[in-house]
């Protein structure tokens, strides 16, 4: 018998067919080939069926029957290209009854356009060699602020120096070269960690760029080659504090320098005589190198006076600020074309392409009650703002405990401990005059509510006393004394790791008993014992205490220094509850009672290709699964969220992107409901904070949202009221960091 069906289908069924279309003109104008398309057919209970489609030359896919059934049903259909670059703007709802045949047409829109770019779609707007001029946003790094201050001064004095500078915009403060495939080459970073290298354009999330395109395409391609050769992180970053006050004209020194650039255009790591460069210097230099290298091919013996430079690049690279470069590019329209102003898409879930849209929740922006900023007095401004991050909020005995501090070794706000533990009295909505406890650690990162009370893992031991001299300002001598003392003290600080405990009705008690536990990241109850996720000089370890912290046994997880056991969670399998630990490197280990822990060969972060610095942050038990945020290490211990995931077992992890691709930042469970705190950035200058809820991890509802100057890093719920702690990233210090707000239950209706 053949495989071809001869008997017709039952006419009493309903059938649902779908076709995907894309506007042919839009497709033609986009560099993106749509490719395979995923059609998601979601039932009301959240069950989702996936079908696939492919477009024909007309921009339409063949109509395909995607589902049949007998019972009346309603579905919500959405479609998107597998690479996430095309998608339906909103789900299409359809109801089906017996005997009915319905065909749904799903029109895809490009998600690239409208001036919002990210690493995925950047190639649709940008071309390799494009010069990207970054403009002032609401927040900037410390280094960027220094540059901007200088730019404004130069602008005011430009009549004395350079008329052309008046064409420039003093709010421009950073320059990068686009390399293609979503990456830039640039001199970047903070004041101490910066270097000349390449990075993903998403690193500029939330900022505006003006794009200038070199009309000599061959020169642009050559410049990209030079940038690839030079930007290998050999050269460090040169803070250009004095640069704007020097002459940028293309005089004899500039020509000599350009000749060197050309001669060394192929040298790995950049010209030998340059150990450092700043952002605009680097971009000008690679273009000048490409241009001069071309001239050298024709005239190998040329001297500096022979050097010719195309319009827009006739600058002394070493003396040219971003403002000067911007002015030159603006003044050379035949050589450089202004393309567009783009916003780099703010961070979103790594699997945002698979997210759905839901009805917006209640706008509670006007209902938030500010409760104060308890850490602002100690860390009032500058880099110390970072230490105000309320890393976690936790309710206990009618109070809301607030995490803060910073245990990173590099700035901003390096090693900020010991930490003042502030506890809000929820009934009065007020913070007390004094902190409840001084935590002898650099940072209070998480609180764990365990069987015998509230615990704080000792993030980075700081038992050698308090010294806020760096915050209030210190002279050279005092700084040297402090640095010397720090070197001496670190042995004491590293001697043992801490666990801080508050039993109900008791005071805080510190157990300084975890041998060599430099970092204690997490604590959990398991099998009648207390377990701690720690990092020691040996690497990632887990410590076990059978007497609630008095003494500990230590087990190895991920060996070698800088390996870290970050979080602990428990999942059931056939044998009962099992303890797991998430380490950096995206790894998961299981406790079988033996030393070392057993490594699970699993992909715990599907959709994230580079898990080198990733671990499962905020693991939260929910409906026999662990729900967690993929966190990527930013500096030392802090992390940036990449996406939300869930796993009933380590080998069946799946992405759970929040509606609209919102970036999850914190999780909590109350009364069998999982709440996710998340944020999006509708524009360069605003952040929207969302609270989503779910009972089944399939369907999320947006409970509420509010607009703020920065994102909320943590939240807590007590008696139906929500509490939010506003945070910031190290590159985007925000003055609202540390603010605690309350959303009364009544505001949610």
Partner 1 sequence: MRLWTIRTEQLAALQGMLELQLADRAAAYVRGEYPATCAALDEPTIRGSVQTALAKGATYRFESEETLFAYLDLMYLLGFDFDLNPRRAWVRATLNDFDLGARTRLLLLVEQARAREGRANGSEPA
Least spacing, CB of residue 54 vs partner 1, in Å: 5
Q: Shortest distance, CB of residue 105 to partner 1, whole angstroms?
A: 15
| SS3 (DSSP) at 736 | coil
Bridge partners of residue 663, in order along the sequence: 679
Cα–Cα distance measured from residue 722 to residue 743, given in angstroms and rounded to the nearest whole number: 5
Nearest CB to partner 1, comparing residues 66 and 640 = 66
Would you call 72 exposed, middle or buried from its count of C-beta atoms within 10 A (0-12, 13-18, 19+)? exposed
C-beta closer to partner 1: residue 57 or 472: 57
Please say which residue, 75 or 589, places its beta carbon nearer to partner 1.
Answer: 75
* Shortest Å distance, C-beta 39 to partner 1: 10
Q: Which residues of 469-490 are buried (b: 16+ CB within 10 A; e: fewer)?
A: ebbeeeeeeeeeeeeeeeeebe
Q: Based on CB atoms, which residue is closest to partner 1, 51 or 234?
A: 51
* CB nearer partner 1, residue 54 or residue 218: 54
What DSSP assignment string belongs to 402-445?
E--B---SSSSS-S--SEEEEEEETTTTB--SS-SEEESBSB--
The Cα–Cα gap between 661 and 351 comes to 7
Q: Which is nearer to partner 1, 54 or 449 (CB)?
A: 54
92 alpha carbon, distance to own chain's centre? 31
**What's the token pair of residue 564?**
């870290």
Give the neighbor-by-neighbor strand order of the sheet with 701-708. 362-363, 701-708, 686-694, 673-683, 663-670
- For partner 1, the closer CB: 67 or 117: 67
Least distance from C-beta 580 to partner 1, angstroms?
Answer: 33
> Residue 8 or 299: which CB sits closer to partner 1?
8
Q: 52 vs 654, which CB is nearer to partner 1? A: 52
**Sites of contact with partner 1 (CB under 8 A):** 1-7, 36, 51-54, 56-57, 61-66
Q: Is the CB of residue 323 less than 8 Å from the CB of residue 284?
A: no
**Shortest CA distance to 429 belongs to which of 53, 43, 118, 740?**
740
To the nearest whole angstrom, how small is the minimum distance from the Cβ of residue 53 to partner 1?
Answer: 6
Nearest to partner 1 of 7, 25 (CB atom): 7
How many residues make up the chain in this entry? 749
Q: Closer to partner 1 by CB, 57 or 609: give it.
A: 57
- Residue-wise DSSP of 369-406: EEEE-TTTTTS-SGGGGGGG----EEEETTEEEE--B-
Q: To the nearest whole angstrom, how small is the minimum distance from the Cβ of residue 657 to partner 1? A: 21
**Smallest separation, CB 50 to partner 1 (Å):** 9
CB of 52 to partner 1, least distance (A): 4
- As a whole number of angstroms, the distance between CA 675 and CA 703 comes to 9
Q: How far apart are CA 337 and CA 344, in angstroms?
A: 20
Element holding 716 (H helix, E strand): strand 712-718
Nearest CA to 144 among 156, 133, 128?
133
Supply the minimum distance, in Å, between the C-beta of residue 33 and partner 1.
Answer: 14
CB of 82 to partner 1, least distance (A): 10
Closer Cβ to partner 1, 63 or 357, answer by number: 63
Whole-number minimum distance, CB 86 to partner 1, in Å? 17
Mapped onto helix, strand or coil, the DSSP state of residue 647 is strand
> Tokens at residue 341, please?
């102003």
Pair of tokens at residue 724:
């939010």
Q: Rounded to the nearest whole angstrom, what is the least distance from the CB of residue 64 to partner 1 in the complex? A: 4
Backbone angles phi, psi at 461, to 5 degrees: -50, 135
According to DSSP, the residues that pair with 14 across neighbouring strands are: 69
């Amino acid at each position: 018998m053949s495989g071809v069906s001869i008997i017709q289908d039952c006419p009493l069924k309903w059938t649902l067919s779908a076709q995907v279309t894309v506007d042919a003109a839009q497709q033609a104008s986009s560099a993106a080939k749509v490719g395979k398309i995923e059609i998601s057919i979601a039932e009301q209970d959240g069950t989702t069926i996936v079908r696939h489609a492919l477009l024909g030359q007309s921009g339409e896919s063949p109509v395909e029957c995607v589902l049949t059934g007998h019972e009346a049903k309603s579905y919500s259909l959405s479609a998107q290209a597998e690479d996430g670059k095309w998608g339906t703007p909103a789900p299409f709802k359809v109801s089906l009854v017996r005997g009915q045949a319905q065909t749904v047409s799903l029109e895809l829109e490009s998600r690239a356009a409208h001036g919002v770019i990210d690493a995925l779609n950047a190639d649709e707007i940008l071309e390799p060699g494009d010069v990207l001029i970054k403009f002032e946003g609401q927040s900037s790094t410390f280094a960027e602020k220094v540059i901007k201050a200088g730019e404004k001064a130069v602008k005011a004095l430009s009549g004395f120096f350079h008329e052309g500078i008046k064409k420039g915009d003093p709010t421009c403060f950073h320059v990068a070269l686009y390399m293609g495939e979503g990456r830039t080459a640039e001199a970047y970073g903070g004041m101490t960690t910066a270097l000349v290298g390449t990075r993903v354009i998403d690193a500029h999330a939330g900022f505006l760029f003006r794009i200038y395109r070199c009309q000599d395409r061959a020169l642009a391609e050559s410049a990209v080659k030079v940038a690839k050769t030079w930007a290998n992180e050999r050269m460090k970053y040169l803070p250009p504090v004095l640069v704007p006050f020097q002459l940028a004209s293309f005089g004899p020194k500039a020509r000599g320098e350009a000749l060197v650039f050309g001669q060394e255009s192929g040298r790995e790591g950049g010209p030998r005589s340059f150990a450092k460069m700043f952002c605009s210097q680097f971009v000008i230099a690679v273009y000048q190198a490409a241009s001069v290298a071309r001239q050298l091919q024709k005239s190998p013996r040329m001297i500096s006076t022979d050097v010719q430079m195309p319009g827009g690049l006739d600058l002394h690279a070493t003396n040219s600020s971003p403002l000067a470069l911007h002015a030159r590019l603006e003044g050379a329209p035949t050589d450089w074309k202004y393309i567009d102003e783009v916003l780099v898409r703010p961070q979103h879930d790594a699997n945002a392409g698979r997210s759905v849209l839901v009805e917006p929740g209640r706008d509670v922006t006007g209902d938030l009650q500010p409760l104060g900023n308890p850490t602002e007095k100690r860390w009032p401004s500058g880099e110390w703002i970072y230490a105000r991050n309320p890393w976690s909020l936790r309710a206990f005995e009618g109070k809301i405990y607030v995490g803060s501090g910073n245990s990173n070794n590099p700035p901003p706000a390096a090693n900020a401990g010991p930490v003042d533990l502030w506890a809000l009295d929820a009934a009065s909505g007020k913070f007390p005059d004094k902190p409840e406890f001084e935590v002898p650690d650099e940072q209070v990162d998480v609180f764990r509510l365990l069987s015998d009370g509230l615990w704080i893992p000792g993030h980075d031991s700081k038992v050698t006393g308090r010294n806020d001299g760096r915050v209030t300002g210190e002279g050279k001598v005092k700084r040297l004394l402090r640095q010397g003392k720090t070197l001496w003290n670190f042995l004491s600080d590293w001697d043992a790791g801490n666990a801080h405990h508050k039993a109900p009705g008791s005071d805080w008690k510190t157990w300084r008993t975890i041998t060599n536990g430099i970092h204690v990241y997490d604590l959990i109850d398991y099998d009648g014992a207390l377990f701690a996720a720690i990092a020691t000089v040996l690497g990632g370890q887990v410590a076990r205490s059978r007497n609630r912290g008095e003494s500990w046994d230590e087990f190895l997880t991920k060996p070698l220094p800088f390996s870290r056991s970050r979080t602990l969670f428990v999942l059931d399998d056939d044998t009962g509850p099992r303890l797991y630990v998430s380490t950096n490197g995206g790894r998961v280990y299981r406790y079988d009672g033996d030393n070392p822990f057993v490594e699970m060969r699993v992909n715990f972060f599907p959709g994230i290709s580079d898990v080198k610095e990733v671990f499962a942050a905020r693991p939260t038990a929910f409906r026999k699964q662990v729900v967690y945020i993929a966190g990527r290490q930013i500096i030392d211990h802090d992390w940036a969220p990449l996406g939300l995931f869930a796993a009933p077992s380590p080998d069946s992890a799946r992405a759970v992107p929040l509606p609209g691709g919102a970036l999850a930042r914190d999780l909590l469970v109350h009364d069998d409901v999982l709440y996710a705190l998340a944020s999006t950035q509708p524009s360069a200058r605003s952040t929207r904070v969302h609270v989503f809820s779910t009972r089944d991890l399939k369907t999320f509802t947006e409970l509420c949202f509010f607009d703020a100057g920065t994102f909320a890093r943590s939240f807590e719920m007590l008696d139906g009221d929500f509490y939010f702690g506003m945070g910031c990233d190290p590159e985007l210090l925000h003055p609202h960091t540390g603010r605690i707000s309350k959303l009364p239950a009544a505001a949610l209706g």
